[in-house]
Amino acid sequence: MSLREVCTHLRVKHNQAARWIEMGLLKAVRKESRAGAVSYLIEFEALRKFCKEHRNLLVTRRSSPSRIRFLEEFVFAPKHAELLRTRESKREAEAFERGEYLEDTKGSQRSA
C-alpha cells in the first residue's frame, strides 16, 4: 500500500503517518525518484503489526465509525482457522467441562 492509501484508510494526515515512519513505529520501504520525490510503500503485515502495537494512536474518542469498521474488518480480523475448533480440542474441552483431564499415551486417551 502507498502512504496515501494508508492515510485514507486510517483517516490520518500525511504528516502524521510520515512521522510514524520516521520514528520507526511503522515500517515502510522508502523509494526516491530521479527527480528527488520520496514515496513510501507499506506492506500489509507491517501495517497490521503497527495497528496491533499502537492501538492508542489509532483509536481515539474522535474516531469515525468508518475508521473503526476498517480496523475491525481488515486489520484486526481473526483468521478463519483460529475460529474453528479442531476435533481434538473439542474433546479436550468437553472432558475438562466434565472434570476429566486427558492424557495422550501411545495414541489412547484416558482420564486421570
Contact (Cβ atoms closer than 8 angstroms) between residue 22 and residue 10: no
Predicted pLDDT of residue 47: 87
- Higher confidence at residue 53 or residue 78? 53
The per-residue pLDDT for range 6-31, each reduced to its tens digit, is 888 888 889 999 999 999 999 999 99
Contact call for residues 9 and 70 (beta carbons, < 8 A): yes
Q: Using DSSP bridges, classify how beta strands 108-111 and 102-105 pair: parallel, antiparallel or unpaired.
A: antiparallel
- pTM for the structure as a whole: 0.56
**Per-residue pLDDT tens for 19-75?**
999 999 999 999 988 898 888 999 988 988 888 888 778 776 666 777 777 777 776
Residue predicted with more confidence, 56 or 84: 56
DSSP label at residue 66:
H
